[in-house]
Amino acid sequence: MVNSSAPSPLGLMGLSRNRTAPTRAKIKALEATLGFSFKDPSILHLALVHRSYCNENGIDPAECYERLEFLGDAVLELAVSTELYTRFPDADEGELTKTRSSLVRRETLASIARRIDLGSYLFVGKGVEITHGREQDSVLAAAFEALIAAIYIDQGNEFTRQLILKLINVELSQAEKSDGPPENPKSQLQEMVQGQGMDPPVYQLARSTGPDHDPVFTVEVLVNGQVVGTGTGGKKSDAEGAAARAAYAALSGQV
């Protein structure tokens, strides 16, 4: 059951009283990057605050972006689903689902977040800062979803939909040119090595670092017993995908 007495995601009283709260200058800089000004800047404040910042500054965890992240995920999926339905009239449900998954997955969202330099605007704890956490895919993707939710609450559905399509235009264009989503890196690697008569790739966890709430996994992929690629990610599946891409590039002579 939802706790109706939980703090409102728009309430930033604890944050506004904290002397290390996000500055108005930082908010204005991000607004300039996005190309519009928020009617309620406090919702943008909220979208920039990582839980670690709250923990280290004695701020209620409800004043971080996690609730916005939940909403932003749904807003992104609806906008992307609607666009794909219109843009690919001949695609079936399976093709549309696969393409949407490639566009809203963590790696893609983190890439878009980097294009707008979102990481530099985030407020994170010292531990996350020291480990360069503000540039991790998991942090950037979550913050981007929170940002989308903040825009949705402040500006409404149609404005947000148009901005999403603008921000994700590069990836949408790539999907359109290739008549579908990019190849799954693990499938692509497996097809290549088996086509060359080698054993199927084997993925193994090399190490895991970082806190429990925001881990970083390093995975190695082996072919015929030899390490041919290494990748990292906030999820094991992301790390495996990165390792597969590195292995494919190495084995095909692209590095």
- Confidence (pLDDT) at 145: 98
Q: How many whole angstroms separate alpha carbon 215 and alpha carbon 197?
A: 36
Say how many C-beta atoms besides its own lie within 10 A of residue 166's C-beta. 11
- Confidence (pLDDT) at 183: 56
- Confidence (pLDDT) at 12: 38
* Mean per-residue pLDDT of the chain: 84
Closest by CA position to 219, among listed 199, 189, 194, 198: 189
pLDDT tens figures, 163-187: 999 999 988 888 777 655 445 788 8
**DSSP class per residue in 15-70:** HHHSTTSPPHHHHHHHHHHHTS--SSHHHHHHHTB-HHHHHHHT--GGGSTHHHHH
Q: How many whole angstroms separate alpha carbon 42 and alpha carbon 200?
A: 51
Closest by CA position to 115, among listed 166, 73, 160: 166
- Confidence (pLDDT) at 21: 45
Q: Contact, 150 vs 46, CB < 8 A?
A: yes
User: Directed axis angle between helix 93-104 and helix 169-177, to 10°?
Assistant: 140
Report the catalytic residues.
73, 145
- Confidence (pLDDT) at 118: 93
- Confidence (pLDDT) at 54: 87
- Give pLDDT < 50 ranges for the chain: 1-21, 181-182, 254-255
- Confidence (pLDDT) at 68: 97
Q: How many whole angstroms separate alpha carbon 183 and alpha carbon 221?
A: 18
- Confidence (pLDDT) at 13: 35
Domains of the chain: 13-177 (1.10.1520.10), 185-251 (3.30.160.20)
